[in-house]
Structures are given as C-alpha cells and as structure tokens.
Amino acid sequence: MTNQKLKVLVVGLGQMGKSHALAYHAHPGFDIVGLVNRSTPTLPEELSGYPVRTDFAAALAEFAPDVVSVATHTNTHADMAVAALESGAHVFVEKPLAANVADAERVVAAAKANGRKLVIGYILRHHPSWMRMIAESRSLGGPYVFRMNLNQQSSGAAWDIHRSIMQTTSPIVDCGVHYVDVMCQITDSRPVEVRGMGVGLAQGLPKGMYNYGHFQVLFEDGSVGWYEAGWGPMMSETAFFVKDVISPNGSVSIVMDQGAASDDINAHTQTSRLLIHHAEIGANNAFTRPDDWLDMHDEPDHDGLCYREQDFVFRAITENLDLARHMDDAVTSLKICLAADESVRTCQAVKL
C-alpha cells in the first residue's frame, strides 16, 4: 500500500455509525468521501462538512470508495456488504454480520472471492480490559461456566432505537453475538446445543418478537454458558451487567462501579475493575491465595474503542492481515444466537 489515505464511505448514521464516522475523521489513514443515511441526520460538528447522500447504490458508484462502513439495520447488512465487496471495496460491517446464517456465509464468500478484507464490528476484541479478561480466563483452564447479561432500562430516544432494532432483530441476537464470541474465544471448543426462552413485555412489538430473552449454550468440552438481554422501560437496573467466567481453578469477573446505569453506552463496554479469584485451598479448606483486583479505570471510552476498531480495519488492509478466523468466528457466534432465537420461538433445544 502507498501512503495515500483510504477513501471511506460511511453508511448508516445512528449511534454506532456516527461513532465510527468520528473514528474515520480522526484517523490519519482514512479520508471520508461521503456519508449515507436514509433520512437527514443530525451530525456533530466534526462531520458537518462531508457530503451526505440517501441512496447507497448511487453513492457507491459516485464515490468509488476503498472502504465501505456499514452500520445500518441488520437485515440490510448482507446486501450492502456484498455490493461493496463486488465493487472492489473493503468492508467494515457492524454486528450482527447478517440476519441469517446463509446471508452471513454469502458475505464471507464475497470477501474471499473478491480478495477484499471483511471486518465485523466485534468491538470487545479491541478492548484492552476484555482482552485481559479472556487471557486471564484461559489461563485458569476449563471447563468453564459463563454468566453474562446486558439488560438496558431504555426510555426516550434509546427506547425508540431499541424498538426500531426489534422490527427485525431480537435483543439476544443483536447484543448476544458479542458475549458468545467472548465465550468461544475463551473455551475454543465447538458449541453443540442451544436452549432459549423469551417473552414480550412491551406493547407494539412485531408479531413473534420479544424484548426479553435468555439462553444457554453447551460446548463440546463440557463448558456451559448463559446470556440474558432485555430492553425497555420496564427492565430492572438490578444486576443489569453480569460478566463472570468460572473454572475449576477460580473465576474472573467484571465489577462495575457503584451507581453505573444501563442507559449509559460507556457502561456497556467499560469494566472498571477485574476481580480474579483463585480457588486453591489448603488446611481446613482455607484459601491459600488472596483475590487479585485489576484496576481498569484508564480504559478507552466508547468513541475511543471505535477508533481502535477502525485502526484495526486500516491495519487489516495495509498490512494484509489474515482475517479467515475473524470471519469464521463471526459466523459461529451468529449461528449460536440465531439458534437461541429459534429455540425461543419453537420452545425446543437446537442442536448445532
């Protein structure tokens, strides 16, 4: 690659799309050539000078970008990503990669067929504290028990966003792919079965949609995990954020600051502290090692994480990084969450 900046077209200017656009704006390796949104967006000052279009296909032809960043609704991801890849652009696409497994595999196939890079928005993979949590958990050794949730007591504009997402995607799929991906990185074992349940607690949801869901996933090595996600004004703030990994040798837990709120987007990624508990016992079954507390208060905020994520996109392109495992993992985590969604709807366990 030359030192010339990569031309990027940003598609979708909701909460995540704006954060990614700000990351491209700040990164010395990117040059935003255009922004695409179906409606007229309200933009921060940093983005106000870029051309805005409403038609994705026309903008793709007009700007001929090197990179297309897709942060639209899940059911549009696959078609947009494939169109961009076939135009010769590299693609960053927000999670979930697609609305179904066949479409996810179609996007991966298009990236391989066109020799382009495909990066999926698994933001926790670029988070120093989550990377440390994964490493500490793996060092304990399995089998593992994973306990994870992210409930959000949403109201106002946040509830509007959640209801919009639920037109096509349930909470356990939209958010669950992050945490299932963490489980898979830690155990590195094949998932074999998923069991899910869910209930609609809100008026006006699409038929068959639910705003609270919970599922369990079983792995080949004996590891098990659960994930829970609920959105809406009725959700409890009690224990809304649980991130525990337990093994025969101890546990690793994220401990939030007192008073953290579920409607704070930074609370979805910030860890505050990691608690590492050691299970070794000696005489009288007393613990032989004290717990370790790792302070993580200097970690990046949400926009800082988006910058790290887009820097990875830049390096993937300019350093020709091998993304085969990255793409496969994205499909695997989606398969698990979609199986959970199927289990909710059929009231049956799903074998993988």
Write the pLDDT tens digit of every residue in 295-342.
887 788 999 999 999 999 999 999 999 999 999 999 999 999 999 999
Q: Which domains does the chain have, with CATH numbers?
A: 6-121 (3.40.50.720), 125-299+334-351 (3.30.360.10)
| 68, 60 contact by CB (below 8 A) | yes
* Rounded Cα–Cα distance for residues 294 and 252 (Å): 11
CA nearest to 340, candidates 99, 176, 104:
176
Give Cα 175 distance to the centre of its chain.
6
Q: Is the pLDDT of residue 21 over 70?
A: yes
Q: How far is CA 4 from CA 29, 30, 201, 311, 313, in A?
A: 8, 9, 51, 15, 15
Cβ-based neighbour number of residue 244 at 10 Å: 18
| 129, 299 contact by CB (below 8 A) | yes
CA nearest to 103, candidates 333, 352, 343, 331:
331
The per-residue b/e assignment along 277-288, b for 16 or more CB within 10 angstroms, e otherwise, is beeeeeeeeeee
* Rounded Cα–Cα distance for residues 218 and 220 (Å): 7
Mean pLDDT of the chain: 94
Q: What is the pLDDT of residue 1?
A: 45
Under DSSP, the state recorded for 204 is: T
Q: What is the pLDDT of residue 262?
A: 53
* Rounded Cα–Cα distance for residues 162 and 20 (Å): 19
* Rounded Cα–Cα distance for residues 180 and 156 (Å): 29
Q: What is the pLDDT of residue 261?
A: 58
Q: Is the pLDDT of residue 269 over 80?
A: no
Under DSSP, the state recorded for 252 is: E
Write the pLDDT tens digit of every residue in 36-91.
999 998 999 999 999 999 999 999 999 999 999 999 999 999 999 999 999 999 99
Query: What percent of the chain stands above pLDDT 70?
Result: 95
Q: Is the pLDDT of residue 206 over 70?
A: yes
Q: What is the pLDDT of residue 271?
A: 52
Q: What is the pLDDT of residue 297?
A: 73
Q: Reduced to 3 states, what is the DSSP secondary structure of residue 328? A: helix
Place 256 in a pLDDT band, splitting at 50, 70 and 90: confident
Strand pairing of 250-255 and 241-247?
Answer: antiparallel
Place 258 in a pLDDT band, splitting at 50, 70 and 90: low
Q: What is the pLDDT of residue 272?
A: 73
* Rounded Cα–Cα distance for residues 120 and 111 (Å): 12
Q: What is the pLDDT of residue 4?
A: 85
Q: Is the pLDDT of residue 268 over 50?
A: no
